[in-house]
Amino acid sequence: MKMEVAAIIPAFNEEKTIGDVISALKSSADVDRVIIVSDGSEDETVSAAMKYKDVEIIELLDNRGKGGAIKAGLDRCESEIILILDADLIGLGTKHIEALLKPVQEGRALMSVGIFEKGRIATDFAQKMAPFLSGQRALRRNLLENISDLDLSRFGIEVALHKYVEDNGIEAEAVQLPDLSHVMKEEKLGFWKGLLARVKMYWEIFKYVTRINTDPK
């Protein structure tokens, strides 16, 4: 029996790109539900998402970070396969969605991790350096449920998943995503504000990694 697939898209101020991401998801025969989680957005992200039919929208009034937004989406559905994508992707198509879902749907892996390829030099290089930080992945629901502090992980969610599958010997598969990239923070916010936002993101990841590595549990 086909397992239901829910796409959970955390979005913080992504009014310019969220529509293209939703369009690609709605065009995919593999995706049963599209859940957009506006993570305290201050722009028109919600209004942009509302233009599309049969899209579920969760509007968080406060910014909870990526982990908190994904937890909110997970609480909304009971789907067995969860597809997580960034809301600022450039060039997303059904081929990328199908490639991410296939290893999990066919039972080859419990999680797939998407790696940009031949998109843009800056984003390709960043993912090659730290593929475990990729925001594009498909996975079985129970993997997320087994991250005990998912809602507190903020930008550390990818690290938490990476550590969990490594510690438990769980099969994960890297998937190449050709011609796909995303809008960098420096492009969205301007160089200095974007750089500050990037430093803040890495700081949150560092704090989370430090905490889980020193947790006696």
More confident residue, 207 or 153: 207
User: Domains plus CATH for the chain?
Assistant: 5-183 (3.90.550.10)
Q: How far apart are CA 181 and CA 201, in angstroms?
A: 18
Mean pLDDT of all residues in 97-101? 97
- Using an 8 Å Cβ cutoff, are 138 and 109 in contact? no
The pTM assigned to this predicted structure is: 0.80
**102-131 residue pLDDT tens:** 999 999 999 999 988 754 544 444 555 455
Rounded to an integer, what distance in angstroms lies between the CA atom of residue 100 and that of residue 94? 10
Q: Of the ranges 2-11, 13-22, 175-184, 187-196, which one carries the lowest mean pLDDT score?
A: 187-196
The answer to whether residue 49 scores a pLDDT higher than 50 is: yes
Contact 208, 154 (CB under 8 A): yes
State the CB neighbour count (10 A cutoff) for residue 1: 4
What would the pLDDT profile of 149-163 be if each residue is shown by its tens digit? 765 555 578 888 888
pLDDT at 19 over 80: yes
pLDDT of residue 163: 82
Q: Give the phi and the psi of residue 189 in degrees, each rounded to 5.
A: -110, -5
For residue 202, pLDDT over 70 is answered with: no
Q: Quickly list H helices, 57-111.
A: 65-76, 94-105
pLDDT in tens, 68-79: 999 999 999 999
Q: E strands of the chain, at which residues?
A: 5-11, 33-39, 56-60, 81-84, 89-90, 111-117, 137-140, 172-178, 181-182
